[in-house]
């Protein structure tokens, strides 16, 4: 299919912006705080009496002194210089969806933002209703019996399951012997990592010819030491394991639990339900599937759902409906305890609930269809780009919502790596693609995911940019190797990141290390 998409002229903003501490000027202020009124001082007492001496600073904090316009201009410049999340972002495995501004406005309303989790439940009825209603919606999508939203992301939800697994087996008198968790090399790394963190031995199955481990490989590792299977399906190559129900049966017969990591739920939502496949628990990432924003450990939420048998071990408090009112129910004494404070990040729960209500069952089904359609359209197009290959090329079945590609042919023929292609693509106003979770099964990988939100025009433009960069790699590779060229920051050497004498995380450390460097140079 010929590519006739015209590339736009693009150049990122370049401000050569100093860091905020370098712009500080002594005595400059954005706000002048008036002196305390005498009447207030009489009631409140002296300032020193309001704060214990042990909590007071010995010296004022080193904060930048700036006017309000200076601060606004500084952060506007920084936002304009951002290389990522500003263009077309087909960020596979992390499902970047549009985060509706109306949801941000709702979450910022005083009815939610100004409440406190220690208020009496009678004063939180609206918030508790939203939490409970999203719980019911996710039960419908998964078949599970109860959801909690405490976990701060997918890895936290996987860890929650590892803890529940340990508690469940301990309650059955098998806590000491059930010490192995089975996963696969293509399952998201948070599953083996959290299993190991919870004290389990991890058994990892390798990918075979069909794109997933065989039943024979699974049968060879299950035993009376098996505590659980933790797996995602489809994986990041877009391949769905059609034998998944048999996998669950084998693990259950061995006495283990089964956990479905639904990180890649986009392509199968409304099509399958984890409980109907036999799974005991699952998790959804609200920031991947349900339109809540993503952020490293901040606004992320891993919704954890489980069967009735596991529900007694859930972390509390749980939101329950009693008649027409909502109440908080403490976690069981033999449960896993809290994995995060209170109910978790309720603002993100609200945004996910708004997404579910806005989409409805028909919209969710359509989004799933569009996600699979867009991915297979991209797969057909990208397979025609010189230098690109697809994982397991002999598998002709449609992929799900993402496909793992490889730039290994390009690398072998030009010496240009996938990371260098990433850097060059941002010169055309699209975001750098995602490579792959470690360890790399496919060399020089990249994993785009269109989801349901990107238009055909956006997808075509993204493909045109990749095709252009690959052509440059064959004709003028030095352009790609030296990228990015149209941004505030060019290609960076990574050696400083390995040198603790050079990188700094604070202004104080930066000053100290720069002074040391100047002394050495002198």
362-383 pLDDT tens trace: 999 999 999 999 999 999 999 9
- Distance (Å, whole) CA 46 – CA 437: 56
CB 434 within 8 A of CB 93: yes
DSSP 91: B
Q: What is the per-residue burial (b if ≥16 Cβ within 10 Å, else e) of 145-164?
A: ebbbbbbbbbbbbbbbbbbb
pTM for this predicted structure: 0.88
Mean pLDDT, contiguous 10-residue spans, the chain (522 residues): 77 90 93 89 85 88 93 92 76 81 91 92 96 98 96 93 96 95 94 96 95 96 98 92 97 98 93 97 92 73 95 94 94 85 92 95 96 95 96 90 96 97 94 90 94 92 97 98 90 79 87 88 84
414-467 pLDDT tens trace: 999 999 999 999 999 998 899 998 889 999 999 999 989 899 999 999 999 999
| Domain ranges, ordered by start, for the chain | 20-80, 105-357
SS3 for 388-399 is: CEECCCCCCCCC
Output the CATH code of domain 105-357. 3.40.640.10
- Distance (Å, whole) CA 235 – CA 459: 22
């Amino acid at each position: 299919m010929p590519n006739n998409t015209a590339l736009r002229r693009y150049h990122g903003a370049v401000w050569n912006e100093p860091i905020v501490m370098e712009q500080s000027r002594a005595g400059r202020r954005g706000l002048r705080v008036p002196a305390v009124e005498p009447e207030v001082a009489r009631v409140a007492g002296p300032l020193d009496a309001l704060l214990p001496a042990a909590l007071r600073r010995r010296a004022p904090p080193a904060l930048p002194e700036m006017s309000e316009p200076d601060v606004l201009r500084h952060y506007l410049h920084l936002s304009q210089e951002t290389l990522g999340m500003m263009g077309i972002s087909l960020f596979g495995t992390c499902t970047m969806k549009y985060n509706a501004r109306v949801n941000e406005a709702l979450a910022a309303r005083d009815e939610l933002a100004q409440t406190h989790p220690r208020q009496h439940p009678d004063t939180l009825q609206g918030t508790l209703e939203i939490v409970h209603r999203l719980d019911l919606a996710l039960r419908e999508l998964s078949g599970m019996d109860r959801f909690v939203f405490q976990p701060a992301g997918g890895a936290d939800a996987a860890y929650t399951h590892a803890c529940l697994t340990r508690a469940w087996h301990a309650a059955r008198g098998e806590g000491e012997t059930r010490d192995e968790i089975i996963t696969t090399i293509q399952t998201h790394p948070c599953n083996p990592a959290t299993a190991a963190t919870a004290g389990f031995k991890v058994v990892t199955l390798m990918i075979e010819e069909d794109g997933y481990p065989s039943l024979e490989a699974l049968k060879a590792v299950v035993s009376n030491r098996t505590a659980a299977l933790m797996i995602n399906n489809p994986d990041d190559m877009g391949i769905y394991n059609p034998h998944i129900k048999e996998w669950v049966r084998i693990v259950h017969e061995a006495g283990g639990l089964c956990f479905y990591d639904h990180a890649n739920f986009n392509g199968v939502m409304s099509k399958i339900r984890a409980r109907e496949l036999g799974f005991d628990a699952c998790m959804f990432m609200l920031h991947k599937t349900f339109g809540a924003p993503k952020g490293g450990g901040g606004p992320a939420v891993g919704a954890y759902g489980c069967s009735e048998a596991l529900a007694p071990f859930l972390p509390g408090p749980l939101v329950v409906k009693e008649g027409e009112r909502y109440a908080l129910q403490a976690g069981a004494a033999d449960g896993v305890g809290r994995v995060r404070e209170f109910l978790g990040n309720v603002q993100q729960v609200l945004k996910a609930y708004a997404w579910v209500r806005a989409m409805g069952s028909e919209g969710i089904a359509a989004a799933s269809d569009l996600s699979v359609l867009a991915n297979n359209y991209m797969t057909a197009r990208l397979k025609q780009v010189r230098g690109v290959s697809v994982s397991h090329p002999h598998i002709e079945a449609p992929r799900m919502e993402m496909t793992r590609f490889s730039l290994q042919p390009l690398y072998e023929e030009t010496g240009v790596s996938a990371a260098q292609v990433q850097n060059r693509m941002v010169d055309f106003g699209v975001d750098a693609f995602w490579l792959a979770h470690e360890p790399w099964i496919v060399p020089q990988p990249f994993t785009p995911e269109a989801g349901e939100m990107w238009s055909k025009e956006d997808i075509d433009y993204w493909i045109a940019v990749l095709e252009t960069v690959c052509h440059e790699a064959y004709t003028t590779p030095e352009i790609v190797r030296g990228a990015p060229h149209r941004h505030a920051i060019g290609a960076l050497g990574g050696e400083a990141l390995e040198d603790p004498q050079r990188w700094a995380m604070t202004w104080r450390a930066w000053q100290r290390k720069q002074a040391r460097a100047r002394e050495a140079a002198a």
